[in-house]
Structure 1
Amino acid sequence: MSAALPSPTQSVWYLGPVPLRAYALCILAGIVAGLWITGRRWRAKGGRADFPLDVAVWAVPLGVVGARIYHVITSPEAYFGPGGDPVRALYVWEGGLGIWGAVAAGALGAWIACRRAGYRLAPFADAVAPGLLVAQALGRWGNWFNNELYGRATDLPWALTIHDWDEATGRAVTGADGEPVVLGTFHPTFLYESLWCLLSAAVIVLADRRWRLRHGQAFALYVVLYTAGRSVTEALRIDEANEIAGLRVNQWVSAVVLLVALAACVISRRRHRGERDGSGRDEPLERVPSPQSPAATPPAGDAEQQAGKPTVTESSQPSSRDQDHPRS
């Protein structure tokens, strides 16, 4: 026990009547870090500096709702099973957010924002991939505060001490001696996943610099790397979960999503093989018509990129084989 990693005995603090929940603070920290990284990558692609914030207005609320819906659907017993409480399905602060629901609904929000601004989704998805992984890495520490989602029992030096937990109060249960009740030491799957997310983010950044991942390839690589790591941590976890043919539902989802993302990445690389961008950076300004943003009107901030460029006339229009492919 002395060699084990500690866990908090409290995850909620009060400022007067206002509760400060560690789980929510970790998620907020992840959102801030993810937006900052995405903003830097988006500006490097020539995009409008404040556009990631516009996306967040749509993607973050929808992502949280989607994450909760996915969790409730894949683990319905606590809410709709015997002795369950359906109202607790709304208690997001108690934990229980499914990443695939967050990605799917968040992608819908990003698509809406991109559509309204006249951007294509794929370049923005490539920009957001490393930041999304960093956000997930920070968000996983909320599970540490809640003493949840740990793995099998172990006595390894990095084993995690887990307390008997009272979700209603956000505190460890105390024994007759007034000390927190310890259930044992377990694999810190939250830590494994957090470290894997950070490593995957670094791999995507390095791969992007080396091979210039475009047309959604960086995002596809994010999905491949994350699902590969998630498959391992999911196999270690011992919390209650629905199973199909002896495997947890999340393992099946991860396997299917990994294969689809891997195929998408390979197809995209082959389809766009040989393309070159003389400007040295990706083109998020592959604009599409939208009611809010006509195709002929560039966004504010693009004017600097257009300054100094010669006007292209019909007689000087490059051939189709020399143009970058706008579809991603």
Structure 2
Amino acid sequence: MTLAYIPSPTMSQFTVGPVTIHYYALCILAGIIGAVWITTQRWNKAGGTFDQILDITLCAVPSGIIGARLYHIITTPERFFGPHGDWVEMFRIWNGGLGIWGGVAFGALAAWAWCRHKHYPMALLADCVAPGLLVAQAVGRLGNWFNQELYGAPTTLPWGLKLNTAGTAIGSHEQCYDGATCPTGTLFHPTFLYEMIWNLIGAALLIWIGRKTYNTLKCGSLFALYVMWYTAGRTWIESLRIDFAHEFLGVRINVWVSMAVFILSVIAFVIIQRTGKSSALLAERLRTQSELENSKLADENN
């Protein structure tokens, strides 16, 4: 008899009149709001304004969602194409399926384009947003809990995840993704919780490192450290999962991607230390640009 476990929700959505609201989407939204708030606080201290972050957010978030979905579609095409695929499913992101690498890449590209247009220091923005990204990813993982998806292998640990067999949650009819029959009451590794904890610890570490090394590490270093931290955690957490995924040499593709990106982030960190600019210098540039924008706005209002 199992005496301790983490229960699963009995529902993953609710309706308000004719509108169906998915908890997965609410978790993503809450994560975005948290990331914007954290980034705004850090950006303001560097000499920027909330309006600047709002404009960047309006460019980066939609681009990031599109990129995350495209990454998932490219890495799991059989879900959307072929004899057993449903192309309409591409647009149902509330059913899960957002690849972090596509999200970061497309979101960063959109943010870079806007920063270049407005003459904001991108490296400074990257350092300001890094802890917020980890918090957003942590909160977003709660959506997997509501959907009962992306959990790990069976476990006997007291914090194992117990699936329910009723309700509208995805896990109610997908107890074992690998096709095996799991006995009733089987517990699974709560990989959503592992990643939440890992990301929140990482966010706290980045903030601490940023304060301690403000005058020593070059601007952009914190973002490189964010990538290193996240990929290190994703490598072992991804290895626990049992949902279907393409493999290469017996290893899940996302594990290979995490290891490759980790190596690239280490190289980027070294390059930044050699060629990057100081945070103080870029903060001064941001303050100058903010003053110019405020002056221009004041002139337009007069």
TM-score range, shorter chain: 0.7 to 0.9
Distance 1:250 1:276, change over 3 A: closer
Partner of 1:300: 294
> In the aligned structure 2, how far is the partner of 1:119 from the partner of 1:15?
41
Tell me the residue number matched to 2:179.
none
Distance 1:251 1:276, change over 3 A: closer
Distance 1:21 1:210 in 2: 41
After superposition, the CA RMSD in angstroms is 2.5
Q: Identity of counterpart residues, as a percentage?
A: 49
Amino acid at match of 1:265: F
Q: Give the equivalent residue in structure 2 for 1:190.
A: 192
Within the alignment, does 1:257 sit opposite 2:261 as a pair? yes
Alignment of 1:223-262 (within 5 A): 223-262=227-266
2:241 maps to amino acid: R
After superposition, the Cα gap between the structure-2 partners of 1:247 and 1:44, relative to the gap in structure 1 and judged at 3 Å, is same
What pairs with 1:99-110 in structure 2 (closer than 5 Å)? 99-110=100-111
**Does the 8 Å contact 1:39/1:50 carry over to 2?**
no
Amino acid at match of 2:9: P
SS state at 1:19 partner: strand
Aligned mates of 2:7, 2:230 — CA distance in 1: 26
Shift of 1:163: 3.2
Q: Deviations over 1:194-240 (max 9, x none)?
A: 11000011111111111124321110000000000000100000000
Distance 1:131 1:173, change over 3 A: closer
Work out whether 1:269 is the aligned partner of 2:273. Answer: yes
TM-score, scaled relative to structure 1: 0.80
AA matched with 2:292: P
Instruction: Work out whether residues 163 and 171 of structure 2, in 8 Å CA contact, stay in contact via their aligned partners in 1.
Output: no
1:65-123 CA-partner distances (Å, limit 9, x unpaired): 00000011111121114321111111111111000000000001111221222112111
Q: Structure 1 residues 2 and 20, CA, compared in 2 at 3 Å: closer, same or farther?
A: farther
**Match of 1:59, SS?**
helix
Q: Distance in 2 between matches of 1:173 and 1:204?
A: 38
In structure 1, how many angstroms separate the alpha carbons of the residues matched to 2:97 and 2:157? 27
1:91 aligns with 2:92: yes
Aligned equivalents of 2:296, 2:155: Cα separation in 1: 55
Residue equivalent to 2:121: 120
Matched letter for residue 71 of structure 1: H
1:151 aligned counterpart, secondary structure: coil
**CA distance in 2: counterparts of 1:119 and 1:141, whole angstroms:** 33
TM-score computed with the length of structure 2 as normaliser:
0.87
Distance 1:154 1:38, change over 3 A: same
2:137 alignment partner in structure 1 = 136
Q: Which residue of 1 aligns with 2:10?
A: 9
Q: Which structure has greater helix proportion?
A: 2
- Measure how far apart 1:190 and its partner are: 0.6
Cα offsets for 1:265-323 (capped at 9, x unmatched): 12222445xx767xxx4624536xxxxxx9898222899xxxxxxxxxxxxxxxxxxxx
Distance 1:165 1:62, change over 3 A: farther
The residue identity in structure 1 corresponding to 2:164 is H
1:193-232 equivalence runs, <5 A = 193-212=195-214, 213-232=217-236
* 8 Å Cα contact 1:162-1:182 kept in structure 2: no
Contact 1:48 1:302 in 2 (8 A): no
What's the CA shift string for 1:175-205, capped at 9, x where partnerless?
A: xxxxxx9662100001000110000111111
Alignment of 1:159-174 (within 5 A): 159-164=160-165, 169-170=168-169, 173=172
Identify if the C-alpha distance between structure 1 residues 251 and 171 changes in structure 2 by more than 3 Å, giving closer, same or farther.
closer
**What is the deviation of 1:164?**
4.8
Q: In the aligned structure 2, how far is the partner of 1:39 from the partner of 1:112?
A: 19
Distance in 2, Cα, partners of 1:253 & 1:301: 46
Aligned to 1:149, the other structure's residue is in SS state: coil
- The answer (yes or no) to whether the contact 1:23–1:145 under 8 Å persists in 2 is yes
Alpha-carbon displacement from aligned partner over 1:142-171 (angstroms, at most 9, x marks no partner): 0000000000100101101123588xx546
Kindly name which structure, 1 or 2, has the bigger radius of gyration based on alpha carbons. 1
Instruction: Assess if the C-alpha contact under 8 Å between 1:227 and 1:254 holds in 2.
Output: yes
- The amino acid that maps onto 2:228 is V
